[in-house]
Structure 1
């Protein structure tokens, strides 16, 4: 039984994700694919456009065999923490043979050379990074320059042609995540083998739709734009009526002409159609009032600085500007400087909203090297053997029912840290669904009673 692991967000699942699933199984010869997926809040500091159980259902309908949730401590973190949380979760299962990720580079050796420097952090790299940060450069820019300097010193004489490859790798988001996956594998001394698949078609941030495979960014943009075109009377559906074609219909076109239909598998489209104007779509602005309340409830900048990704300088800036808050997107624009990138600010504000503090995340990394439990979102009925094997081989407790969670965590060697981590996951889910309920009035949700997805239908893969 060969198993491949994938780290995902599926926001939403699209044709490129289906290609990745297919190629991951083919390239590794795996019979099963285990997916670890972000919950309701994502790595770039944004909410998922549709909730985690709907996205897990999409994955299971299109080839995934088991879907697990990446704890919120890591799902909203920088690439380093996101990768460590995800890879540690896969490694803890005891059944995963390979980790397969997409990259713009497609060359595992190039990515691994960069990962080696980040894992070892040689003195020349650390000194250069410190000097560049003291000059006021943002961390991503300073790190890239320090890495290129160190890599050139280590390999430049024998690999002059690689400088451009390293630079290109550091300029692309999937490459950066891939490098962090490799670094996490080294940190964990994992036996899982890394495999990368070159990303095809559109780029990660490409805002335009293309035939066949488009970026999730483009798909979300079109979904939200089409919804804005609908008259107000059509934006909230009658909860007593089924979700019909009209929910995804643009003002000027018919259902058949919907630009999203060709971008996602049919099974995914059916789920989007079912949830349209019921729980989906959700965007960052839906959390504006909740975040504003959180910012006003904080006493001073010192309290803000306790949250993950919130430095003293950023905490002071947030405090100075919070009384001029007019909405989340406007506030992000006000906070943005050369030192603080938009993504960094979004991530920091999301950690404040969800109450994720730096010392709690660092405690989980120090004590447990990442994830402290295995939270199942769903599985395919034909892959129930995976759960049986995990129960035999994993060092972490498995949570399939929230009613049993406390009891299961008591047997964990990291029970205190695990309890805090799970509390954060529960709180994050409830916060997300507060925004959903505010937008779609008939919606109700309880994380404690929500059942996992069990997929029994035939799949595409």
Structure 2
């Protein structure tokens, strides 16, 4: 069986994701689709709207055949580490290709860009250092350095676009890990990555969907933009837990986490660099909401996303030392199964003996620092729920078997 891999967050699974999934399978001429999905905290440093289990069910209902978890150690990182972890899992699972959405929609642009940056890596590093020294954020500095390197090259990528940035890192990880996977891309349609309002009759960004159902409490507004199965799962989640997960609900816990630590302890938190702990303590005392806190904290150098990730590490007490030991190889140490269809089960049975990484379906059967980090993240993720729902939610890590979609 031929498998195409995709890297997803599904926050939540909407019609644009449905299009990407179907087109990926078609473009790769694949029999099955394998999704690597972020767990309870996401790449932009946000808590997922609903649990990884609910999003796994959405993915399977939307056509995915196997869903595996991208561990917290990779899912809450910059594009390079995020992509590297995801590629290592898909490669270990024997995927023939990886297909991602992008603004450009042409794989040659990614390959040519990678070749150019490899050829002129020393120049790029120097230009990047110069841009950073002028107070630019890392993403902005990368874009500035790349524009100077690529001057006059019309076919290269626009590395200021979020999906292009991630796509480039997928291609880079495939090459550097010497994976046999073929990179493929399809053009993103309908709505921009950060669009906060609805413009298209059936395609909307996940950002706009979340804004409408979390901040405006308008669940019916998303009905035209998500598959019926996603709509049903989201409604059921709200009825079960009385809330969608949002940073504002975690703000009291974040405030406690910061104010209960000394400056020395804060310096030990992952990505707490350049004396940032002083600004964090100063502004947390003056902020009455998460949005206000980040607005006060944000600077030209520190982007909103970068600071959200830092807040995630503060909330989960993730330290530099433990993350450093995990990220030495930038590869996942195991494969954790969240859900499967009938086709997915057949594929897994066929390749199981050839897997080079441990396959986990029950966390009690495996132990590692990376998995411990996931378990801790889940415990924190559950804190906004009422009791006894919060305690029961924490237990799901040990009691929830992989979801068997369409299987007895």
TM-score by length of 1: 0.83
Residue number among 361, 368, 371 corresponding to 1:422 in the alignment = 371
Residues in 2 aligned to 1:384 and 1:138: alpha-carbon distance in whole angstroms: 44
- 1:440 Cα deviation from its structure 2 partner: 7.1
Contact 1:57 1:453 in 2 (8 A): yes
Root mean square deviation of aligned Cα: 2.1
| Cα pair distance change 1:262/1:395, threshold 3 Å | same
User: Secondary structure of 2:380's partner?
Assistant: helix
CA shift, 1:117, in A, is 5.0
Aligned match of 1:21:
21
Shift of 1:99: 0.2
| Of 175, 181, 187, the match for 2:170 | 181
In structure 2, the residue matched to 1:75 is 75
- Structure 2: distance between partners of 1:143 and 1:359: 26
- The answer on 1:341 being equivalent to 2:303 is yes
Q: Output one character per residue of 1:84-131: Cα deviation in whole Å (capped at 9) or x when no partner.
A: 1111111122x2000000001112122223334555662111111112
Shift of 1:325: 4.1
For residues 114 and 266 of structure 2, what CA distance do their matches in structure 1 show? 32
- Map 1:281-360; keep pairs closer than 5 Å: 281-300=244-263, 302-360=264-322
Aligned residue in 2 for 1:219: 209
Structure 1 residue 442 displacement after superposition:
9.7
The unaligned stretches of length 5 or more in structure 1 are 230-247, 249-257, 407-418
Match of 2:346 in 1: 385
Runs (4+) off by over 4 Å: 117-121, 438-444
The answer on whether the counterparts of 1:115 and 1:180 sit within 8 Å (CA) in structure 2 is no
State whether structure 2 residue 102 is matched by structure 1 residue 103: yes
In the alignment, which residue of structure 2 is the partner of 1:170? Answer: 159
Q: Which has the larger Rg? A: 1
Match of 1:370 among 316, 331, 335: 331
- Equivalent residue for 1:201, pick from 190, 209, 223: 190
Q: Is the contact made by 2:378 and 2:394 (CA closer than 8 Å) also made in structure 1?
A: no
Cα distance change of structure 1 residues 293 and 442 upon mapping to structure 2, 3 Å threshold: closer
Q: Distance in 2 between matches of 1:276 and 1:87?
A: 33
Structure 2 unaligned regions, length at least 5: none
Deviation, 1:441, is 7.7
CA contact 2:33–2:66 (8 Å) conserved in 1: yes
TM-aligned CA distance change 1:109 to 1:362, over 3 Å: farther
Aligned residue for 2:275, secondary structure, equals: helix
Q: Distance in 1 between matches of 2:254 and 2:364?
A: 29
Change (3 A) 1:89 1:120: farther
Residues 393, 442 of structure 1: alpha-carbon distance in 2 compared, 3 angstrom cutoff: closer
**Residues 105 and 438 (structure 1), Cα distance of their counterparts in 2 relative to 1, 3 Å cut:** farther
Instruction: Give 3-state SS (helix, strand or coil) of 1:37's partner.
Output: strand
Distance change >3 Å, CA 428–CA 374, structure 1 → 2 = same
- Alpha-carbon deviations, 1:332-389, whole Å to 9, x = none? 11111111111111111111212223343332332x4411110111111332122223
Q: Normalization by structure 2: what TM-score?
A: 0.93
